[in-house]
Amino acid sequence: MFFVRLDLRLHRKIVVIDGEIAYTGSLNLVDPRYFKQKAGVGQWVDAMVRIEGPAVQALGALFLWDWVVETGQDIKALMETRNLKTAPQVGSANVQTVPSGPGSKSDTTHQLLLASIYAAHSELIMTTPYFVPDESLLTALLSATKRGVNVTIILPEKIDSMLVRYACRSYFDDLLTAGVRIICFQGGLLHTKSITVDGEIALFGTVNLDPRSFWLDFEVTLSVYDPDFGARLRALQLRYAEDTQSVDLQSRQKRSARERFFENTARLFGPLL
- DSSP code at position 247: -
What is this structure's pTM?
A: 0.92
Judge whether 193 counts as a catalytic residue.
yes
Q: Chain centroid to CA 5: how far?
A: 23
pLDDT beyond 80 at 6: no
Percent of the chain with pLDDT over 70: 93
Return d(Cα 203, Cα 95) in angstroms, integer.
10
pLDDT beyond 70 at 81: no
Spot the catalytic one: 11, 46, 110, 217. 11
Q: Do residues 4 and 102 lie in contact, with contact meaning Cβ atoms separated by under 8 Å?
A: no
Rg (CA), the chain: 19
- Sequence-separated (6 or more) residues with CB below 8 Å from residue 196: 123, 124, 125, 202, 230, 233, 234, 237
How far is CA 243 from each of CA 1, 72, 157, rounded to the nearest angstrom? 47, 46, 11
Q: What is the pLDDT of residues 89-104, one digit of tens each?
A: 777 789 999 999 887 7
pLDDT beyond 80 at 36: no
Which residue from 156, 168, 112, 152 is spatially nearest to 234, judged by alpha carbons? 152
Return d(Cα 102, Cα 123) in angstroms, integer.
32
By three-state DSSP, how is residue 62 classified?
A: helix
Angle, helices 135-146 vs 108-119, to 10°: value is: 10
Judge whether 18 counts as a catalytic residue.
yes
Q: Do residues 46 and 25 lie in contact, with contact meaning Cβ atoms separated by under 8 Å?
A: yes
Judge whether 146 counts as a catalytic residue.
no
Return d(Cα 235, Cα 247) in angstroms, integer.
21
Q: What is the pLDDT of residues 227-260, one digit of tens each?
A: 999 999 999 999 999 999 999 999 999 999 999 9
Q: Where are the alpha helices (DSSP H) in the chain?
A: 54-71, 75-81, 108-119, 135-146, 162-169, 172-178, 211, 227-241, 249-252, 257-268
Return d(Cα 235, Cα 98) in angstroms, integer.
24
Return d(Cα 31, Cα 43) in angstroms, integer.
9
What is the maximum span of the chain, computed from C-alpha positions, in angstroms? 63
Spot the catalytic one: 107, 134, 173, 198. 198
Q: What is the pLDDT of residues 206-228, one digit of tens each?
A: 999 999 999 999 999 999 999 99
Spot the catalytic one: 46, 66, 160, 193. 193
Judge whether 198 counts as a catalytic residue.
yes
* Number of other CB atoms surrounding residue 187 within 10 Å: 14
Q: What is the dihedral of CA 162, 113, 223, 272, to 10 degrees?
A: -40
Q: Do residues 171 and 153 lie in contact, with contact meaning Cβ atoms separated by under 8 Å?
A: no
Spot the catalytic one: 7, 18, 76, 105. 18
Judge whether 121 counts as a catalytic residue.
no
pLDDT at 4: 56
Return d(Cα 33, Cα 173) in angstroms, integer.
33
Q: What is the pLDDT of residues 179-201, one digit of tens each?
A: 999 999 999 999 999 999 999 99
Single-letter amino acid code for the residue at 107? D
Q: Which one has a higher pLDDT value, 62 or 103?
A: 62
Which CATH class, in words, describes the domain spanning 9-272? alpha beta
